[in-house]
Amino acid sequence: MTPWAPPPPLRSESMPRSPPRTPDRSGRDRASPDTTAGPDAHVGVEATGGSEDALATYLHAAGRVVSVVNPTRIKYAGIARGRGNETDKADARLIAAYTRDHRPAAWSPPSPEVRGLQALVRRRDDPRTLAAREKGRADGPLLTPTARKSVARVVKFLSKEAAALQAAADALDHSG
């Protein structure tokens, strides 16, 4: 069996390069992840509304055990520990301690079909939300008849778009 090697970093050529890294007093690179944990480490990632998905997928593909944890659980774990400050470093330590102590369930990425369905459903909710906002504007007392007609057209368009997205999601759901 070959030893574990970290996968190449996720980097876009348009992303700025990081400043040079300097070792701390112990000689370890301050910006490096804790490499003493080894490849069998259980990695905890706080669910942040979708932005954690790429990192969790990357770590899972690298063979790591990953848990995507509800931020409310992390918050109350911090309160139970008497955590006072909220810095990125303190948050990272808290997530690591929570993952170590509670061993949350391992996460695995959804299938491409499920990802597609999730994306359609999330996207369907956007025009519905916008249509509801527009309907609220239509009740405004200062709206002119021309503006009211514009709002009605936008609501109609958004409703059609939401219905089309729902139909696509239904078709994808029933095909699998």
Q: How far apart are CA 98 and CA 83, in angstroms?
A: 13
Q: Is 161 left (phi over 0), alpha (psi -120 to 50) or beta?
A: alpha
**φ/ψ (deg, to 5) at 43:** -100, 130
Average pLDDT over residues 19-32: 47
Between 33 and 151, name the one with better pLDDT.
151
State whether 97 and 41 are in the same domain. yes
Residue 12 covered by a domain:
no
Residue 26 covered by a domain:
no
Q: Which of 111, 131, 117, 115 is nearest to 166 (CA)?
A: 117
State whether 84 and 133 are in the same domain. no
Treating both helix axes as pointing N-terminal to C-terminal, what angle do 112-138 and 145-175 enclose, rounded to 10 degrees? 160
Residue 67 covered by a domain:
yes
- Whether 32 shows a pLDDT value over 50: the answer reads no
State whether 116 and 170 are in the same domain. yes
Domain end point (choices 84, 102, 120): 102
State whether 140 and 84 are in the same domain. no
State whether 129 and 82 are in the same domain. no
83-105 pLDDT, tens digit each? 766 788 888 889 999 999 999 99
Please give the torsion angle defined by the CA atoms of residues 141, 144, 148 and 151, in that order, rounded to the nearest 10 degrees: -100
State whether 119 and 62 are in the same domain. no
Domain end point (choices 102, 124, 146): 102
Specify the number of domains making up the chain: 2
Q: Which two tokens stand for residue 130?
A: 């916008």
Vertex 65: Cα angle to 81 and 109 (nearest 5) = 110
State whether 71 and 44 are in the same domain. yes
CA atoms within 13 A on the CB side of 52: 17
Length of the chain: 176
- Whether 28 shows a pLDDT value over 50: the answer reads no
What residue numbers bound the domain in which 63 lies? 37-102
Residue 157 covered by a domain:
yes
Residue 55 covered by a domain:
yes
